[in-house]
Structure 1
Amino acid sequence: MEPLDLLYEEAGQPGSGLPPALATVYGGDLGFTPPCVYANFVTSIDGVAALGPEFLSSGSAISGRNPADRFVMGLLRACADAVLIGAGTLRATPSHKWTPDHVCPQAAPDFGELRRSLGRATQPELVVVTASGDLPTEHPALQSGALVATTMDGTRRLDGRLPPACTVLPTREGSTVRMADILAALHAHGHTTVLTEGGPHLIGNLLGEGLLDELFLTTSPVLAGRADTPRPGLIAGLELLPEQPAWMDLISARRRDSYLFLRYRLHLSNSRVGLRSAVAI
């Protein structure tokens, strides 16, 4: 794969000592200071992040399955202890597995080398968030094993339905989940570097509780458009402007052809302030 073109990099960022093959393609090092929650999304030029519930695998459609985007996706997964997704994302991608090699198999040996150097498990642990317990339990990602973070109501609904490889993380009574509770449970499992790949409601929850640290955003050179189908952007279920803008600092910019790969850090003035949202996932 051709290297990404490095356009900008803020000085002093943490590094993990990427294996040479990964560092060459990425155009430098990549690292995180734990505890850290970082998101990865692809959007169209007009800001669409999901095409709607009737369209499966929205991310692949928006990205055009671009090899550079899939490499970055795999690299970000390879750096993580756990990959956090909402139930809607699981339902919308019925054959997906949230592992580095699933999206970029040609880099699998290098991803494995990186994880060994970081002291990580062979694969990041998948964490699925569901308030209701409404999950497609036959999904191959659940069959392979996952942590399922849910409410007590969701726990009762899932009782006896999940594959044996899954573990339930019950959080609280009621119809909503608190991301702070989920992250505390993940930290107890030793997962302090957490990647989330959405969807927009999950990102809204994380921002609403002031728990998102960084955002990796791929801008795909495509216009998606909007008409009668709900097509959310990065965040759903949470209004920020004009009362509570969540400013971010650009800390990295890369390019491959007409795709932009941007890295933002949530501005310290709004980080972990508790913007307050309660979204049922």
Structure 2
Amino acid sequence: MAAPDTAPGAPVKRTEPLVPLYEHPGLPRWGLPPALAALYGGDLGFTEPCLYANFVASLDGVVALGPEFPSSGSTISAREPADRFLMGLLRACADAVLIGAGTLRASPHHRWTPEHVYPPAAADYARLRLRRSRPPEPELVVVTASGALPTDHPALRAGALIVTTTAGADRLAGRLPTSCAVVPLGDGPVLRLASVVDAILARGHTAVLSEAGPLVLGQLVGDGLLDELFLTVSPVLAGRAGTIRHGLIAGLELLPNRREGADLISARRRGSYLFLRYRLRALLGRD
């Protein structure tokens, strides 16, 4: 997952521009506002509908430091300003930001908006959304089968779409802020991510950013739903010993029996950080 803040009001340094290393020819271009294009090192766009994910990982592939560090992305990224800028830019491009209940609980002060993660570009993020005729902020979508949510979370007070089961909806009845909407998707104890994505698309959202964790990403990949992956590689080693430290995907075993590949379509750097963009090969047949 990306690297949200865990403390409100934390200062954010300004980033220097990303340096383009490679760009696949023919990528969609939306015409970013000049200030965003200068920092990103070029233009950005998506072929819609598109579901894309954003993660930061250590050199040895760790994206989560374990249950005792519930929001570990900021530690892995060392709060690198370029990573935060890109996180905000990807949110500014999105109609909806998808997270799981675990991500919500792990970030008790966070708002999944572009300006929250990188305030210096707030005005330019807003220009991008206005240029694309989008609301000021992407819709936050929280997936929870059980309905076990911190209903006083500031992100929920600001408004969110809660996708859950019938039992989860019953558990949340009368407890959520009036700014939230609930979509129950059946009586089963688990949620199918394909049904969740269908519910998001049914609301007219065609650019969906997942900032959920490795378990949700595993389901998205397993069901062939993920179109693109943005991966920040942080120049740090996390290590593994007695703690479960997930890589990008959890809950899904692929190799050696199942091979899922991706094509590198963009690479940028800022200092010793790499910012990579991949297109998942499982979906190339749709092009």
TM-score (normalised: structure 2)? 0.92
Deviations 1:220-239 (CA, angstroms, capped at 9, x unpaired): 01111112221111111111
Residue 25 of structure 2 corresponds to 11
Counterparts of 1:144-159 in structure 2, within 5 Å, are 144-159=158-173
1:244 aligned counterpart, secondary structure: coil
Residue 37 of structure 2 corresponds to 23
CA distance in 1, matches of 2:212, 2:84: 16
Residue 227 of structure 2 corresponds to 213
Structure 1 residue identity aligned to 2:202 = A
Query: What 5-or-longer segments of structure 2 have no aligned partner?
Result: 1-14
Residue 60 of structure 2 corresponds to 46
CA distance in 2, matches of 1:146, 1:135: 12
**Structure 1 runs, 4 residues or longer, greater than 3 Å off:** 268-272
Structure 2 residue identity aligned to 1:199 = G
Deviations 1:170-210 (CA, angstroms, capped at 9, x unpaired): 11111111112112111121111100012111111111111
Residue 278 of structure 1 corresponds to none
Residue 81 of structure 1 corresponds to 95
How far residue 267 of structure 1 moved from its aligned partner, in angstroms, is: 0.7
Residue 227 of structure 1 corresponds to 241
Structure 2 residue identity aligned to 1:31 = G
Pair 1:67 & 2:81 matched: yes
How far residue 57 of structure 1 moved from its aligned partner, in angstroms, is: 2.2
CA contact (8 A) 1:252 1:264 kept: yes
Residue 137 of structure 1 corresponds to 151
1:92 to 86, 89, 106: 106
CA distance in 1, matches of 2:208, 2:272: 29
Aligned-residue sequence identity (percent) comes to 67
The answer to which of 110-119 and 181-190 deviates more is 181-190
Closer/same/farther in 2, CA of residues 271 and 41 from structure 1, 3 Å limit: farther
Residue 279 of structure 1 corresponds to none
Pair 1:110 & 2:140 matched: no
1:171 to 179, 185, 192: 185
1:264 aligned counterpart, secondary structure: strand
Residue 194 of structure 2 corresponds to 180
CA contact (8 A) 1:75 1:111 kept: yes
TM-score (normalised: structure 1)? 0.94
Residue 260 of structure 2 corresponds to 246
